[in-house]
Amino acid sequence: MVRFSNNLIGLLNLLTLLLSIPVIVGGVWLSKQGSTECERWLEKPVIALGVFLLLVSIAGLVGACCRVSWLLWLYLLVMFLLIVLLFVFTIFAFVVTNKGAGKVVSNKGYKEYRLGDYSNWLQKRVNNTKTWNRIKSCLQGGDLCYDFHHQFLNYTVLQFSKQELSALQSGCCKPAEDCQFIYNNSTNWTKGTAAYNNTDCDAWSNDPNILCFNCQSCKAGLLQNLKTDWKKVAVVNIIVLVFLIIVYSIGCCAFRNNRSENWKY
C-alpha cells in the first residue's frame, strides 16, 4: 500500500505528461494554421494548457517517484487550486448561462432571440464594442450566412418560414419578424411600410457582409449557442473534476508516504 499510491501517482502523471505533448503540438499547429481571427483566439489558451499540464506532470512524477516531498507538496497545492477553480468556474457558468431562450414565432419553424433575455453579465461581454467586433469579423468570415443563403436560395417565403434555423442563423442572417420586411430571398429583404420599434430593423442590410451582424439578435444568437455548448462543457468539467479529486486523494496518500519514509531515514 505504501508504494502503491506513489507508483499510481507516478503512472497517472506519466500519462498526463504524454498527453501534454500532443496538446502543445496541437496549439503550435493551430497558430501556424489559423489565418482567421476565429481560430487564433484558441491557440494561446491551448498552448498554455499544454505547458501547464507538462509542468504539473513533471512535478507530480518526480515528486512521487523520486520522493521529493516539496515537489509533491507543490503538486498537491496546484491540484487543489485547480479543483477549486474548476468547481467555481462550473458553478459560475451554470448561473450565467441559465437565463435566456429562443422565442417561438407564430407560424414559423424557427425561433428568434432577444439579447435582453440573457444574463446581464453575458450581455455586458457581447456589448463591449471591441469584443463584438472580433466575434463579428469571425462570423462574417465564416460560412454561417453564406451557407444559409445557398441552402434556401430557391425557397418561397412559405417554404422558408417552415425551416428550423440555428440560433446564429436566425439572429445574424435574417431580419427580425417584427420588422415585417418583404421576402426576396433568405438574405435579401425589402423594407415594408409597416412601422417598427426594433432597432435591429435599421441595422439590417442586404449587403452579404452586413446582413444582421450589427443586430442585437445576432449577439443573442451567439449567447444561445454558448448556452447550448456550455451544457456539453459542463459534463466534461464534472468528469474532469471527479478524476482530479481521485488523483488528488491518491496524491495525498503518496505525500504522507514520502513524509513517513523520510522519517525512517
Ligand X SMILES: *[C@@H]1O[C@H](CO)[C@@H](O)[C@H](O)[C@H]1NC(C)=O
Q: Quote the CA–CA distance of 125 and 214 in Å, as a whole number.
A: 15
Q: Is 156 in the site for ligand X (CB under 6 A)?
A: no
**What residues does 182 pair with on adjacent strands?**
190
| Dist. CA 245–CA 248, nearest whole Å | 5
Smallest distance from ligand X to CB 214, Å: 16
Residue nearest to ligand X (CB): 188
Q: Does 205 bind ligand X (CB under 6 A)?
A: no
In Å, how far are 124, 169, 219, 233, 240 from 129, measured between CA atoms?
10, 21, 12, 27, 34
The residue type found at 52 is: F
Among 33, 151, 156, 184, which residue sits at the site for ligand X (rule: CB under 6 A)? 184
Residue 198 as a binder of ligand X (CB under 6 A): the answer is: no
Question: The C-alpha cell of 261 is what?
Answer: 519514509
Quick one: 161 or 188, whose CB is closer to ligand X? 188
Q: Which of residues 76-105 bind ligand X (CB under 6 A)?
A: none
Options 161, 188, 198, 237; binder of ligand X; rule CB under 6 A: 188
Q: Quick one: which of 16, 31, 90, 206 contacts ligand X (CB under 6 A)? A: 206
Q: Identify the residue whose cell numbers are 495525498.
A: 252
Closest by CA to 146, choosing from 209, 73, 223, is 209
Q: How far is the CB of 57 from ligand X (least distance, A)?
A: 55
Give the number of residues in contact with ligand X, rule: CB under 6 A.
3
Residues that bind ligand X (CB under 6 A): 184, 188, 206
